[in-house]
Chain A
Amino acid sequence: MTPLEHHADDAAVRVGYHAHVQNQAGTTHAGIVLAAGSGTRVGNSRNKVYLPLAGRRIVTWSLELFQKVPGIGRLVLVVRNDDQELAEEVLDRELPGVPVDLVTGGETRHESEYRALLHLADDIRQGEIDVVLIHDAARPLASVSIVEEVLATAIRTGSAIPALPFEDVVGVDEAERISHAGRTDLVRVQTPQAFKSGPLLTAYEAAAVDGFAGTDTASCIERYEGVPVQVVPGDPRNIKVTYADDLFTAELFLATAGYEL
């Protein structure tokens, strides 16, 4: 057992009654919400994912999204060590009875993902978890339809990430002139992202051996498993709360949608 495995096991806390949702093949899908690396913290400031948004915390919207999708039977919330108590309190108040596993995250997004995967590793190895979905807690406006789309695509192809076209980007050549030669379309990547659990776990274990830390999940699985990552259309409403005005935008979107995404 690696130190990370040990830590992940120690840190895992299961909140609520856990009932696996299994499909006909006896497998389920797992949703991981990353709340450990959301923004900087200064002094006694709070992690932004615990800010209220339309009466509930931002992180609650992100978790509830997975709960609404049939077939997702495991929920994992990756939190900072300091936020453990707050996270338990929020789950108890805002998602009572919903089974959520709490896992302490690492210093980087990659490490947090790895700890969540280690937490699920036994079930993945036993073939009980088919697809793992990974979502940023700071994206409270992702819709059920986008989750269903990435899930269905990952079941078919092995992986799926939602993305939007980067329409205002152009290439320049050596002489600083606009050039379309050799152009490949750039996209802005969103979450939730979905991957077949076996190759994902294998990729992260290989990365741990090499000391490789990918900037995102897709880079790690592409590097170690050679799995081409399938892009599906993203949603412009699926914003990441980064700027102060994003909070107002998110609240407006939720109100416009009747608080149902």
Chain B
Amino acid sequence: MDNVHIVVLACRHCHGEHLHEVTYAGRLLAYTVCSSCGHTIAKDLPELRRAYIGDVEHRVLTKPRRMLRRVIRHPVAFGLDLPRALLVKPAKMEAELRVLYGRR
């Protein structure tokens, strides 16, 4: 899953429905930004960082099972996607860490 999604949501600050940027750190919501008024809703950073560590542990532990399930269901697609997945993994982790430790 990408870590930034663009969706239309209602904004309590400027009212009405506007595009929002929804940013995740791994599987956890990090913050949302309204494209109309800039209103930002963000999780408390220290709390998010703590939760992220627990989430990464869970992802690492469940990775073999998830990979196995995919190999069984779609062996060809898995084989074809694997090199690309390995190549983009460092960039994905960096993007997650930027959400946690970069400047917002």
Contact = CB atoms under 8 A, between A and B. Distances in A.
Interface string A226-246: 000000000000000111111
Interface in A55-113: 55, 92, 96
Contacts of A43: 6, 19
16 contacts: A39-B9, A42-B19, A44-B6, A45-B19, A46-B5, A46-B6, A52-B5, A52-B27, A53-B29, A241-B9, A242-B10, A244-B10, A244-B12, A246-B9, A247-B22, A248-B41
A43 B20 CA distance: 12
Given A45-B19, A51-B22, A96-B69, A245 B8 contact: no
A42 B27 CA distance: 25
B60 to A, nearest CB: 14
Main DSSP-derived SS at the B contact region: strand
A87 B13 CA distance: 32
A47 interface: yes
Interface of A: 39-48, 51-55, 92, 96, 241-248, 251
Contacts of A241: 9
Interface string B65-98: 0000100010000000000000000000000000
Contacts, number: 66
Interface in B1-53: 1, 5-12, 17, 19-20, 22, 24, 27-29, 32, 34, 39, 41, 43
A39 B8 contact: yes
Given A244-B9, A244-B34, 16 more contacts: A43-B6, A44-B6, A46-B6, A46-B7, A48-B9, A51-B5, A52-B24, A52-B27, A55-B27, A92-B73, A244-B20, A244-B41, A247-B32, A248-B41, A251-B28, A251-B29
A47 B17 CA distance: 13
A103 to B, nearest CB: 23
Interface of B: 1, 5-12, 17, 19-20, 22, 24, 27-29, 32, 34, 39, 41, 43, 69, 73
A243 B19 contact: no
A39 B7 contact: yes
Contacts of A47: 7
Contacts of B10: 242-244
Given A54-B27, A55-B27, A39 B69 contact: no
A40 B10 CA distance: 10
Contacts of A243: 9-12
Most chain B beta-carbon contacts within 10 A, residue among A51, A243, A244: A244
Given A39-B17, A96-B73, A52 B8 contact: no
Contacts of B24: 52
A42 B16 CA distance: 14
A255 B35 CA distance: 28
A242 B15 CA distance: 12
Given A52-B1, A244-B20, A244-B32, A41 B8 contact: yes
B6 A45 contact: yes
